[in-house]
Structure formats: C-alpha cells, structure tokens
Amino acid sequence: MTLPIQPEIDRSFAGLEIRRLSGHIGGEVQNFTLSPDLDDALFANLHQALLHYKVLFFRGQTGLDDARHQALGRRFGEIEAHPTVPAPAGTTFFELDAGTGGGRADSWHTDVTFVAEFPKICLLRGVTIPAYGGDTVWANAAHAYEKLPVQLKLLADSLWALHTNEFDYGAQRSELSEARKRHYREVFTSTRYETEHPVVHVHPETGERSLLLGHFIKSFVGLSGVETRKILEVLQDRATRLDNSVRWSWRPDDVAIWDNRSTIHFAVNDYGDQPRVVRRVTVHGEAAIGIDGRRSRIVTGPGQTLSAAA
C-alpha cells in the first residue's frame, strides 16, 4: 500500500504524533513512552499505525528494561524464543551481539520464515550501539508487490518457495569470520527446519498482498537452483529498491517495531569491531495464506504444528 500524501507530522492516529520518514514505509513516533501498560484504545491506535507504516521507531525508551520490553511484546500476542539460538537466561529474547558469531544479520531477510507460523511482529531494542554504523534498513514488501508489472505479478502469484535455516549463508557476504561460520553451523542450524510458503501471501489483518522473500529461500518449488537464483534476484531487487525502503540510525534505548508479514530488512555491517548489541522480542504468527487460499506447508522441523485455519 502506498502511503497517502500527508503533512510531515501525522496525527490521524489519536494519541500519536508520527513523523513520516520516507515515501512508502516508516514513521517515527514522537514524544511517546512505550509501556506494556498503555490503555487499550491507545494501544489499538498504535497497532493500526504499525499496520499502516509497516515499521515504527521510538527514540530514547529508557524505561523499557528487559522485563517491560517482553511485557510490551505480549500485548501483541504470544512471544517466543528463537527455534535454535538460545535466549539469554530467563528471557525469550533473540539477542544479536556483534561480539559473538551470530550477531550480524547482514543480508535481506524476513525473520524466521523457515518455520510455518513465522513471526507476525518484532520489537527490537538498542542496548549497545556503535559510535558509527550499524544502521538497519527495512523495505515494504506489500508496496513492492503492488508495483510489480503484470507479467511479474503473474509469475510471483504462481510460485512457492522452500525456506530453510540451512540456506547459503555466505552467498551475499563478501567476508565471513571463522566465528560466524562456526556459529551458523553449530547453533543456527543445530536443528534443520524447512517450510514451503507462497511467494505472494495475503496479510491476515489488512488483506494486502505481499511478497515473502529473503535469504532463507533455498529454492522455488519445481525450479532448479540456477532458475531460483535468477528469479529471486529479480523479485528481491524490486522489493529492496532505495525508494521502497527506510533506514534507521540507532541510538541507545531506541526501539523499532515492525510488521514482519509485510517487510524485509537488512542490518548494515559497517561498524568494524565496535560492540553492538540489540535484543528482539518476537511475536508468534500464523501460516502464510496464498492468493488461492492454500497455506504454508511444514516439510521438516520438530515441534511444529499448524493452527486450525480461521
């Protein structure tokens, strides 16, 4: 969905002042304190603003400690830990620590699409932020689909993709440390997950059609690896155009909340050996539904079940 032309500050969601950050995605909510204790009406407006802007940003949320961060996530639904990466003790966080092997999510992805009921909403908080670099970029996968030429829409509509945590980890990275390779082998892929999703799915709340892409795609069903790479490059290049994205420069205690069902994102790895720690609360989602009504299919992965269709 294209954001309508509007003043720089959007006050159409009662109780919120949102500074528009780009033409098609992203808004900074100003003069606002995030809390798990938001009253129901204000929280409902925040949720609607999130569906509209796809990603919302909040500066300086110093009152949101680990416990309140997780409690805020529960307002959106059931929160869950990463399927393979251990959470910090006593939490469900997915922590990205640049000082460990798995702390740099530096290729385009939608979070945890290798499971069938992939996350619907994610809440990321800056804990330790480098003096420079380390920005995150989000792109609007719904607007990307909307703007595809008819010929590419017809192709995308017909495609299903196999998503797995055993993807080609080095494919889009110019250099990889041994620590990162080891973390990927020993932790991230400690248990193999594979799921087939439609490449175009219907958002369960907005009804928008959105591309479901990213580095977890191993192959398009029925196509070869070479064909998959070429088609994925075409679709992903459309989705991640600069004019379809928003870039956030982190400060300590900033929070980003995004709709994982209609976005794709990239953490820029340009900060060298500086420390960078961010913590993500992940809200359980549901299987994707294709435009023909078919739902995501589990191929392999322990403990996965599909909820009954609505």
Low-confidence ranges of the chain (pLDDT < 70): 1-7, 101-102, 167-177, 179-181, 183-187, 309-310
Res 4: pLDDT: 58
Res 113: pLDDT: 98
Write down the domain spans for the chain: 9-300
Contact (CB, 8 A) for 165 and 189: yes
Give the other-Cβ count within 10 Å of 163's Cβ: 28
Beta pairing, strands 55-58 & 27-30? parallel
Which CATH number does the domain 9-300 belong to among 3.40.50.300, 3.60.130.10, 3.30.230.10, 3.30.70.1520?
Answer: 3.60.130.10
272 Rama sector, left if φ>0, alpha if ψ -120 to 50, beta otherwise: left
Res 105: pLDDT: 87
Q: What does the H/E/C string look like for the chain?
A: CCCCCCCCEECCCCCCEEEECCCCCCEEEECCCCCCCCCHHHHHHHHHHHHHHCEEEECCCCCCCHHHHHHHHHHHCCEECCCCCCCCCCCCCEEEECCCCCCCCCCCECCCCCCCCCCCEEEEEEEECCCCCCCEEEEEHHHHHHCCCHHHHHHHHHCEEEEECCCCCCCCCCCCCHHHHHHHHHHHCCCCCEEEEECEEECCCCCCEEECCCCCEEEECCCCHHHHHHHHHHHHHHHCCHHHEEEECCCCCCEEEEECCCEEEEECCCCCCCCCEEEEEEECCCCCEECCCCECEEEECCCCCCCCCC
CA–CA distance, 97 with 137 (Å, rounded to integer): 18
Each residue's pLDDT tens digit, 45-66: 999 999 999 999 999 999 999 9
Beta pairing, strands 209-211 & 55-58? unpaired
Each residue's pLDDT tens digit, 281-296: 999 999 999 999 999 9
Both tokens of residue 26?
């992203």
Residue with tokens 């929160």: 79
Helix axes 225-239, 150-158, angle to 10 degrees: 130
Nearest to 134 by CA among 24, 41, 249, 38: 249
Both tokens of residue 251?
């400060």
Res 7: pLDDT: 67
Both tokens of residue 19?
């500074």
Write the single-letter amino acid at 246.
Answer: V
Contact (CB, 8 A) for 281 and 123: yes
